Amino acid sequence: MERPSADTVWHLLTLFSRYRVVIAVILGLMYWGFQRFQVLSPQAPELAGWTLVIYFAAATATLAAAHGRFPAAAYHLTGQVVLDVIAMTLLMHASGGVKSGIGLLLLVSLAAAGLVARGRIAFFHAAMAALAILLEQSWQILNVDGAGADFFQSGLLAGSYIVIAGLGFTLAKYAHGAEQIAEERGVDLANLAQINELVIRDMQDGFVVVDERGVIRQHNPQSETLVGGLSRANERALADVAPALARQLAEWREDPQHIFAMLRDPRSQRDYQVRFVAIGDQTASPTVIFIEDAGRIRAQAQQMKLVALGRLTASIAHEIRNPLSSINHAAELLHEESDRRPEDQRLLTIIQENAHRLDRMVQEVLYLNRRDRAHPEPIEARIYLERFVRDFCANEKVVDDVFDLKVLSTRRAIFDRSHLDQILWNLVRNARRHGRGQAHSVTILLRDAPDADNLLLEISDDGPGVPVEALAHLFEPFFTTDASGTGLGLYIARELAEVNGARLEYAGTQVQWSGDAKPLNGACFRLTVKGERAGT
């Protein structure tokens, strides 16, 4: 059987020693205070007196040794039992043998020793006590003319020592088993409490526990984000920190079927929807208020719609590509004819331009379904950007002095190369389209981010900028201010950025580098990407 901890053993030994001191004091009072009643030592009073004095001194010494944890616990316990056996046997001898009843005190000592030892040594202690009692009774019969019938009583007492030691051993075993189960349950409860705390802390929705008096008992961090007044609101009335939420709670307690409108918190400027769950009786019990982020719900709904839309448009795009290729090919064949009128040339131009526009839209729609296939790799920024500008100028028939390329960082960008091509192609094409078309009209700037872990890639132009009314819809799909645009460029660019762990945002009309500011009248888009030092 597994041993108890050292602290537990010495605590029990200390209690056992205190019990021994108390017994010594009680026996001393009985001997010196009630000597005329001959409770103790009718045969050998001097032996009883010296035994009590020595027993009290030894009991005090064992108590001091227990506090000092000396010697080892097993030796200390055995020494205490030996002391009890010797002292009680001498007192029995001085008081006329087993009929004095002093031997019964050993039952308590042996039972306590069995509980402390929690092992077979308890039977050794019991056998030692039984042998001492039998030897003492034999001495009484042989030398003091003791009655032979007392030997039977001594045998019963010796047998009871063995039984009490066995009971102590069994009780200690069961107690230790219960202690182990309780310890395991305690560990499980502690783990469960920790898991609950992590789940509550990381919940996407907020929750608030309110008692029957409307006092807040508990809430998670997300609830503070959605409802600004809940910060440090434990033990405060809900009506004081969130009056609108308190009113809805009161209405729900009166009518559980009531459907509540969406609320907007004046501090956090966040929309949220509430749901109430009673713990017990609805009208007179604590209530859990679940606070759902309406913005997150809308974003999920929007994402689901976009996924469905992407699948639908991809199917349509595949069906469009074949007839579109036929139209474009036919227009090219007509364009090769030499005997055509100017009106026919204008119509062919319209056909080709719109065919190219539809083809570009089909390509962008198909790209929607490939945005999750990212394979980031380290990219040497300067080499990549210089090559990109050359390729763009060659494909778009643009002179390279339109671009002002500035690379102010030696770090490498971590990005999927094809995704970065798609993002930059959209951003640079928009900047060239809306810029003035003069020298350095489009600025491409790469610099280190303030946090030193990321890179900032900024594309800006000197055009009229983004209208204020268009800012809220800038990254929405199929939104465009250009009659010839598809409205998917910026949306796809942001999607590809998020897939690569980057962030694309509209940065206003000013770009900075080397501590200088270059004010612009046009737009500036900033791509924040992960970076790493060269050679790592």
Average pLDDT of the chain to the nearest whole number: 80
Quote the percentage of the chain above a pLDDT of 90: 12
Helices (H), 369-477: 381-396, 417-434
Instruction: For the beta carbon of residue 102, count every other beta carbon within 10 angstroms.
Output: 23
Q: How far apart are CA 249 and CA 208, in angstroms?
A: 11
pLDDT-derived band at 510 (thresholds 50, 70, 90) equals very low
Looking at the DSSP assignment, which residues form a beta bridge with residue 273? 292
Classify each residue of 57-79 as buried b or exposed e, where b means 16 or more C-beta atoms within 10 Å of its C-beta: ebbeebbebbeeeeeebeebbbe
Which has more pLDDT, 160 or 342? 160
Mean pLDDT of the 520-530 span: 84
Report pLDDT for 427: 92
| The predicted structure's pLDDT at residue 445 | 93
Q: pLDDT at position 388, please? A: 92
For residues 208 and 218, give the distance between their C-alpha atoms in angstroms, rounded to a whole number: 6
At 410 the three-state DSSP class reads coil
* pLDDT per residue as tens digits for the range 185-209: 888 888 888 887 777 777 778 888 8
Domains of the chain: 6-183 (no CATH), 206-296 (3.30.450.20), 297-368 (1.10.287), 377-532 (3.30.565.10)
CA distance 59 to 100: 22
**Mean pLDDT lowest among 35-44, 240-249, 326-335, 391-400:** 35-44
Query: For 332-352, how does the pLDDT look when each residue is reduced to its tens digit (9 = 90+)?
Result: 777 776 666 777 777 777 787
How confident is residue 370, by pLDDT bands cut at 50, 70 and 90? low
Q: What pLDDT does residue 518 have?
A: 47
Average pLDDT over residues 504-508: 86
- Model confidence over 166-177: pLDDT tens digits? 887 788 778 777
Evaluate whether 253 touches 235 at the Cβ level (below 8 Å). no
List the one residue out of 439, 446, 456, 449 whose CA is nearest residue 405: 446
37-41, 329-333, 348-352, 526-530: range with lowest mean pLDDT: 37-41
Highest mean pLDDT among 36-40, 293-297, 362-366, 493-497: 493-497
Range scoring the smallest mean pLDDT among 54-68, 160-174, 409-423: 160-174
Q: State residue 40's pLDDT score.
A: 63
| Residue 96 in this model has a pLDDT that exceeds 90 | no
pLDDT, residue 1, reads 47
**Range of 343-352, 379-388, 491-500 with top mean pLDDT:** 379-388
Output 402 or 367, whichever has higher pLDDT: 402
Mean pLDDT to the nearest integer, 366-386: 78
Q: Is 478 left (phi over 0), alpha (psi -120 to 50) or beta?
A: left
Task: Provide mean pLDDT across the span 494-507.
Answer: 86
- Using CA atoms in the order 50, 55, 57, 63, what is the torsion angle rounded to 10 degrees? 180
- 152 pLDDT more than 50: yes
Residue 60 pLDDT more than 90? Answer: yes
Query: CA distances (Å), 183 to each of 111, 175, 179, 406, in order?
Result: 25, 12, 6, 66
pLDDT at 512: 39
Most confident of 329-333, 359-363, 512-516: 329-333
Helices (H), 279-416: 294-335, 342-368, 381-396
15-26 residue pLDDT tens: 889 988 999 898
**144 neighbors 43 (Cβ within 8 angstroms):** yes
Q: Is 287 a residue whose pLDDT tops 50?
A: yes
pLDDT at 516: 45
Confidence band for 511, pLDDT divided at 50, 70 and 90: very low
The C-alpha atoms of residue 65 and residue 71 are separated, in whole angstroms, by: 7
Predicted local distance difference test score (pLDDT) of residue 378? 92
Give the pLDDT of residue 145: 64
Residue of 204, 228, 208, 231 whose CA lies nearest to 218 = 208
pLDDT of residue 397 exceeding 60, the answer is yes
Confidence check: pLDDT of 55 > 80: yes
The owner of tokens 């350095």 is: 440
Residue with tokens 């050794």: 124
Counting residues of the chain whose pLDDT is more than 70, the rounded percentage is 84
At 68, list the tokens: 């000092």
CA atoms within 13 A on the CB side of 442: 24
SS3 234: coil
